[in-house]
Structure 1
Amino acid sequence: MDDPSILLTNDDGIDSVGFRALYDALDTVGSVTAVAPKNDQSAVGRSMSHEVTLEEHELGYAVAGTPTDCVVAGLGSLCPDTDIVVAGCNKGANIGSYVLGRSGTVSAAVEAAYFDVPAIAVSMYIPASDNWREQATDPQDYRNATEAATYLVKHSVDAGVFEQVDYLNVNAPLFNGTVAPIEVTTPSRWYKMGAEKNGSTVAIKDYIWEQMRDGTIPDPEGYDRRAIMEGRVSVSPLTAPHTAEHHEALDGLAAAYKDC
Structure 2
Amino acid sequence: MGDPLEILVTNDDGIDSTGIRVLSEALSERANVTVVAPATDQSACGRSISHEVDVVEHDLGYAVEGTPADCVVAGLAELGPDPDLVVAGCNEGANLGEYVLGRSGTISAAVEAAFFDVPAIATSMYVPIETSLSEADLGIDDYAEATRVTTFLVEHALDRGVFEHADYLNVNVPPAGDEPAPIEVTSPSKRYEMGAQRNGDSIHLTDRVWETMDPEEIPDPAGTDRRAIAEGRISISPLSAPHSTNHHEILEELTSAYADIVGARDG
**Does the TM-score normalized on the shorter chain lie above 0.5?**
yes
Q: Which stretch shows the higher mean deviation, 72-81 or 34-43?
A: 72-81
Corresponding position of 1:179:
180
Determine the C-alpha separation between the residues in 1 that align with 2:90 and 2:134: 15
Q: 1:124 to 1:136 in 2, by over 3 A?
A: farther
Output one character per residue of 1:148-173: Cα deviation in whole Å (capped at 9) or x when no partner. Answer: 10000110000000111100000000
Partner of 2:257: 256
Q: Is the 8 A contact 2:127 2:136 kept in 1?
A: yes
Contact kept? 2:9, 2:86, Cα under 8 Å:
yes
The residue identity in structure 2 corresponding to 1:117 is V
TM-score by length of 2: 0.94
Q: Does 1:24 align with 2:35?
A: no
85-94 vs 130-139, greater mean Cα deviation: 130-139
Q: Aligned with 1:73: secondary structure?
A: helix
5+ residue gaps, structure 1, are: none
Amino acid at match of 1:13: G
Post-superposition shift, 1:135? 2.1
The match for 2:74 is 73
Residue 65 of structure 1 aligns to a residue whose secondary structure is: coil
Q: In structure 1, what is the equivalent of residue 120 of structure 2?
A: 119
The amino acid that maps onto 1:71 is V
1:15 aligns with 2:16: yes
Alignment map for 1:119-138 (pairs within 5 Å)? 119-130=120-131, 132-138=133-139
Identity of aligned residues (%): 60
Change over 3 Å in CA distance of 1:111–1:130 after alignment to 2 = same
Aligned length: 260
Q: 2:196 & 2:106 partners in 1: Cα distance?
A: 25
Matches within 5 A, 1:17-166: 17-130=18-131, 132-166=133-167
Shift of 1:53: 0.8
Number of the residue aligned with 2:265: none
Offset at residue 38 of structure 1 (A): 0.3
Structure-2 separation of matches of 1:233 and 1:99: 18
Structure 1 residue 23, shift from structure 2 partner: 1.0
Q: Which amino acid aligns with 1:110?
A: V
CA deviations 1:181-220 (Å, max 9, x no partner) are: 2111000011111111122211111111111268632112
Give, in angstroms, the shift of residue 134 of structure 1: 3.1
Normalised by the length of structure 1, the TM-score is 0.96
- C-alpha distance 215-65 of structure 1, shift in aligned 2 (>3 A): farther
Q: What secondary structure sits across from 2:213 in the alignment?
A: helix
Check 1:115–1:96 CA distance in 2 against 1; reply closer, same or farther (3 A cut).
same
Q: Which moved more, 1:205-214 or 1:180-189?
A: 205-214
Contact 1:6 1:30 in 2 (8 A): yes
Alignment of 1:200-239 (within 5 A): 200-212=201-213, 216-239=217-240
Higher mean C-alpha deviation, range 194-203 or range 109-118: 194-203
Aligned pair in 2 of structure 1 residues 194, 214: CA closer, same or farther (>3 Å)?
farther
Unaligned 5+ runs, structure 2: 262-267
Partner SS for 1:15: coil
On the 8 A contact 2:11/2:106 being kept in 1, the answer is: yes
Q: Is the 8 A contact 1:97 1:189 kept in 2?
A: yes
Q: CA deviation at 1:253?
A: 1.1
- Is the 2:215–2:230 contact (alpha carbons within 8 Å) kept by the matching residues of 1? no
Distance 2:58 2:66 in 1: 15
Rounded Cα–Cα distance in structure 1 between residues aligned with 2:228 and 2:214: 15
> 1: CA distance between counterparts of 2:33 and 2:95?
23
Q: Is the 8 A contact 2:215 2:227 kept in 1?
A: no
